[in-house]
Amino acid sequence: MQHAPTADAAHVTNTGIDNRKLLMWLFLASECLFFGGMIGTYLLYRNSSVTPPYPTDRVIDGVAYSGLFDIPFTSVSAFVLLMSSVTMVLALAAIQRNDRRGLQIWLAATALLGMTFLAGQAFEFTEFHKEGLSVNTNLFGTSFFVLTGFHGAHVSVGVLILVALWVMARRGRITSENALNVELAGLYWHFVDVVWIVIFTLVYLLQ
């Protein structure tokens, strides 16, 4: 028996991949270059600032400057975002076996972890600003805030998508038949996570 195609049913394509999924991966591939450009810019300019504050401890002309980075705090933030990827993939696994209750729980957990990460970033930005770093203070400030700010914006969009999915799940509008909606949101969320994996290493840990 053949099923009539519905709005959510996948369709036959010449690639064998649902077009929405293909488009999401194309988008993510382009995002690699988006973030790659900004990470490259940060690496280029991070040691070019002629005025403090600086990212790490350093002595210039006999004057000692304390670095701004708080590695233990950022490590916790990175861990929180990493665990949100685990809860996201558990949400997908739940709906693929038609466990709607599990989907709601794991989506809510992912959104909450994402909000926790954003709160941590807001705290970090505030602390840096108190120390005299703004987007136009020096090259470090400009490249750092642009890079991490754009990442934070991506996380914010991800949280909005997750909350929207959670509301849809609460209303029973997500089933195993249209689990692709959750998978697409998951792809975006995991990508935001892997970008932070790179930022955490190249920006915070590499001195």
Partner 1 sequence: MLELLTFVLAADGKAFFENPAYLLGIPLIAVGALGVLLAMSPIELKWPQPAPAEEEYEIFDHPADGHPDAAEYVKVGLILAVITGIEVAIYYVDALGDTLLPILLVLSALKFVLVILWFMHLRFDNRLLTVMFTTGMVLVVALFVVVLSTLGASLV
Summarize as ranges the residues that interact with partner 1 (CB under 8 A): 1-5, 9-18, 21-22, 25-26, 28-33, 36-37, 39-41, 43-44, 71-72, 75, 78-79, 82-83, 85-86, 88-90, 93-94, 96-97, 177, 179-180, 183, 186-187, 190-191, 193-194, 197-198, 200-202, 205-206
Question: Min. distance of Cβ 10 from partner 1 in angstroms?
Answer: 4
Q: Report the distance separating Cα 135 and Cα 122, nearest Å.
A: 14
Question: Min. distance of Cβ 34 from partner 1 in angstroms?
Answer: 10
Closer to partner 1 by Cβ: residue 169 or 184: 184
Question: Min. distance of Cβ 113 from partner 1 in angstroms?
Answer: 12
Residue 106 contacts residue 90 (beta carbons within 8 Å):
yes
Closer to partner 1 by Cβ: residue 167 or 197: 197
Closer to partner 1 by Cβ: residue 168 or 198: 198
Closer to partner 1 by Cβ: residue 127 or 177: 177
Residue 93 contacts residue 63 (beta carbons within 8 Å):
no
Q: How many CB atoms lie within 10 A of CB 105?
A: 17
Q: Report the distance separating Cα 72 and Cα 70, nearest Å.
A: 6
Residue 199 contacts residue 148 (beta carbons within 8 Å):
yes
Q: Report the distance separating Cα 108 and Cα 167, nearest Å.
A: 10
Question: Min. distance of Cβ 164 from partner 1 in angstroms?
Answer: 20
Q: Report the distance separating Cα 128 and Cα 144, nearest Å.
A: 11
Element (H, E) at 148: helix 139-170
Report phi then psi at 11, rounded to 5: -125, 165
Question: Min. distance of Cβ 62 from partner 1 in angstroms?
Answer: 23
Closer to partner 1 by Cβ: residue 37 or 132: 37
